Amino acid sequence: MIHWLLVAHIIVVGYWLGSELVINSSFRFATRDVASPLEARDRMLQHVMNTDQHVRFALVLQASLGTILLAAYGWVPGGQTLMIAAAVLGVFWLGFVEYIHRVRHSAVGARLAALDRGSRYVLMGVLLLMSVGVIGGDWPIPLWLRFKFAAFAGVIATGVLVRLQLIRFFRVWGEMKTDGVTDARNARVSTLENQASFLIVMIWVFIAIIVALSLFKPV
């Protein structure tokens, strides 16, 4: 069973990285294609936001599978009970993420999205505390895995920064849709896109660190 969980864990990493690559490429194209009508660029951005769901799914899957593997290896207490709880919670979390996406343009969607970001802060905090041993300091967790927790927290933190950057981006994009496209607004969205792209590259770096730690287990 552990073998197949590890296979799934690895597949999700590829799924996550592939989704990030598609998102960044499409995002840059929509932002920089100033010669195309805004309507066409906006359709591309809507495609980007739909594709972004896969990144959210990957985060939930990794958190759930990672918890199941920790319990399966006996690195954290809880055993089979924790494995089942993580699987059930993961399914509900995936449904919650999908529901938020479907109602994202409503007031309820905005509140739920804030709640979802809050859950990421909690997960990030737990990972950081586990990485330094504040949580589970006496659990038999290998040192390389604690470093992996820190890198995973880095992925989540950077992802939150990307979300906040996108809020600023779409504020300017909304001005373009209501008040018209200008060179100044195109320049502004280009700057915001460059900043978001830098953060996405940082996510790739953290994912590369996670993969390297998983493969080589240096410590």
Contacts of the segment 41-46: beta carbons below 8 A, 24+ positions apart: 42/173, 42/177, 45/173
Evaluate the CA torsion angle 120, 28, 49, 66 in order and state its sign. Answer: negative
Q: How many domains does the chain have?
A: 1
| One pLDDT digit (tens) per residue for the chain, 219 residues | 888 999 999 899 889 888 888 888 888 888 888 889 999 999 988 888 888 899 999 999 999 999 999 999 999 999 999 999 999 999 999 999 999 999 988 989 889 988 988 888 999 999 999 999 999 999 999 999 999 999 999 999 998 899 889 889 999 999 999 999 999 999 999 999 999 999 999 999 999 999 999 988 887
Its domain, for residue 189, covers 2-216
The DSSP annotation for 112-163 comes to HHHHHHHHHHHHHHHHHHHHTTTTTTTS---HHHHHHHHHHHHHHHHHHHHH
The pTM assigned to this predicted structure is: 0.88
